[in-house]
Structure 1
């Protein structure tokens, strides 16, 4: 695997982000520092006069320019409709959202956002109130996508069985999972068979499948007093609405608290929009799907701090435990 985010590369990306910061009117001497590395590299610029600005340098080969512009268009529509508290995508002096620089012969697209204060919740926190709020936010997002007329040229990835854990995975083949044994692979093959059958039977009708955030994990939530803000729509695409709950428990899917968080999310959702018993019954299936997807992601992005924090082969072992439990309940 090609390592994209070693220290030397991060230094080069920092220089690139600093070089294009003027596109959004930031002064050349504004300090630029790395915040996070996951799919992309995210930086914070702090001008002496003015509010901080977030610069997102996109990973090459993941999203096209049209896909990024589509994401930013949806964020703009959500903000205009008051659906969710999320940072504003910034336009540059030329009216465009994106700037770019070339590194090692590859174009790196850069987007900028207003800074949103707040603290990321931790899995060890009491998350029930937050998940109740998140359920309502999810319901509003899903209601919006059912009626929003996407602009011409709108394009985002689809997160279905084939593109998550099937033959055309966006984030790599789960069979390359770190530390996966032959017996473990056989267990996950059986799990995939059950996932495939359940998802096919559930279907992709418009009341259950549409444009979703697709990555509402704790790292993409910001709590500031009573406000629950949502950031990073980089993975938004077309998927099952219930998948947004599964993404919210990313990296702690095995925790005994998850059923209580599901209850809180469902209650918050139903205060805003209908959620059928069939929809609710599918949520553990989406949790298993997301867990297997992340197991593949960790293998294909093992150089990132997010993957390292998940535990590598230990996360694969946890996936096997979860899969065995999932099949036992099937």
Structure 2
């Protein structure tokens, strides 16, 4: 998964494959197809000029999710919709009833799924973000309560986002050591941060009260606001992780901003309006923020062809090292003092 795949030729092939498959969802020959985003997957918007119908398609990244994993995501998403737990996307079946299509991309099979388009826009930094994070905290609490009580269907399988999967032996999103612009001094800081995170997460544990089915990618790009309504989209990375990791994912790419404590306080307030959250849980939120930051640094290294990675580049890596130094000053001060000073020189 570390090799860039989203070059122009690949995107052209998957767009052609998707265009050929549009009649499977009852879309006419007058349908316009437009690429929306490239991240883990390629997302397209289809608008049928003959009927006015709009559908959003996700063509899955090769080698990431199995068909069973995609089916499991859609099962949870459908349950959340039926039970009105949270405003989110509605999967759209093909005319024959299946939710997952197989596309022929130059002789290779690719999975694709479709969703009804949800109106709204991504929250912007100029908005009252605390308001939306308060609502997001309540949404997270409802999601977590549902995940705890929901009887998952037989064969349900999703990835496990624990330390090993993120930074340890598995490294699902690659290795932060390959991050652009990482210096020898910076690597020393991040190596120590990695080790401290491992120990802290091991101490916190993965008991059922703390670890379960979560969204795992609630960054701003996966939130839509429309009037007073906040919708959560893109459950593609949902899986088993720490419940509080959902907040860390919600501040993705903004972990360094001075307003993060304000958003954290708002999120906690919203969460507690629905479900309990202990002071110990709140206190460990910065640990999950640092974990997410290091994971995203790895993601940028392994997804260099994506617009997000290209826009962030070496600056994000340098910012990660700065955050790590501050993190270690709090969580590893006795052991890191001299080493951090040497790394900074």
Name the TM-score, length of structure 1 as normaliser.
0.97
Distance in 1 (alpha carbons) for counterparts of 2:172 and 2:159: 9
- 1:136 corresponds to which residue? 138
Cα distance, 1:118 vs. partner?
0.3
* Residue 217 (structure 1) shift: 0.1
- Alignment of 1:36 onto 2:37: yes
Q: Deviations over 1:170-219 (max 9, x none)?
A: 10011111111122111111101111111111111111110000000000
**130-139 vs 120-129, which deviates more?**
120-129
Equivalent residue for 2:94?
Answer: 92
Give the whole-Å Cα distance in 2 for the aligned partners of 1:294 and 1:20: 33
Supply the distance in 1 between the matched residues of 2:35 and 2:221 (Cα, whole angstroms).
15
Aligned partners of 1:123 and 1:252 also within 8 Å = no
Q: What is the root-mean-square deviation of aligned Cα atoms in Å?
A: 1.1
Cα pair 1:16 1:101 within 8 Å, conserved:
yes
Structure 1: segments with no counterpart, 5+ residues: none
Alignment correspondent of 2:341: none
1:104: how far off? Answer: 4.1
* Displacement after TM superposition at 1:124 (Å): 4.1
1:42-70 alpha-carbon deviations (Å, 9 max, x no partner)? 00110120420011100000000000010
Matches within 5 A, 1:235-250: 235-250=237-252
1:261 aligned residue: 263
Choose which of 291, 303, 307 in structure 1 pairs with 2:293.
291
Question: What is the count of residue pairs matched by the alignment?
Answer: 329
Aligned equivalents of 2:88, 2:246: Cα separation in 1: 16
1:236 and 1:22 map into 2 onto residues whose CA distance is: 29
CA contact (8 A) 1:18 1:28 kept: no
Structure 1 runs (4+) greater than 4 angstroms displaced: none
Please tell me whether the aligned partners of residues 13 and 106 of structure 2 are also in contact (alpha carbons under 8 angstroms).
no
Contiguous gaps of at least 5 residues in structure 2: 332-345
Q: TM-score, normalised by structure 2?
A: 0.93
Match of 1:116 in 2: 118
Retained in 1: the 8 A contact 2:77–2:90? Answer: yes
Is the 1:51–1:115 Cα contact (8 Å) retained in structure 2?
no
- Residues in 1 aligned to 2:125 and 2:74: alpha-carbon distance in whole angstroms: 29
How do 1:21-170 residues align onto structure 2 when only pairs under 5 Å count? 21-48=22-49, 49-170=51-172
SS at match of 1:194: helix
Which residue of structure 2 aligns with residue 204 of structure 1?
206
Contact 1:40/1:58 (8 A) holds in 2:
yes
Q: C-alpha distance in 2, partners of 1:314/1:69?
A: 37
Q: C-alpha distance in 1, partners of 2:185/2:126? A: 32
Helix, strand or coil at the partner of 1:31:
strand
Q: Secondary structure of the equivalent of 2:316? A: helix
Larger radius of gyration: 2
Give the secondary-structure state (helix, strand or coil) at the position aligned to 2:31: coil
Distance in 1 of aligned mates of 2:57 and 2:20: 11
Contact in 1 for aligned 2:4/2:302 (Cα 8 Å): no
Q: Which moved more, 1:318-327 or 1:44-53?
A: 44-53
Structure 1, residues 264-299: CA drift from partner, whole Å, max 9, x if none?
Answer: 000000000000111101100000000000000001
Contact 1:209 1:240 in 2 (8 A): yes
For 2:17, the equivalent position in structure 1 comes to: 16
Q: Does 1:320 align with 2:321?
A: yes
Question: How far apart are the structure 2 equivalents of 1:219 and 1:140?
Answer: 20
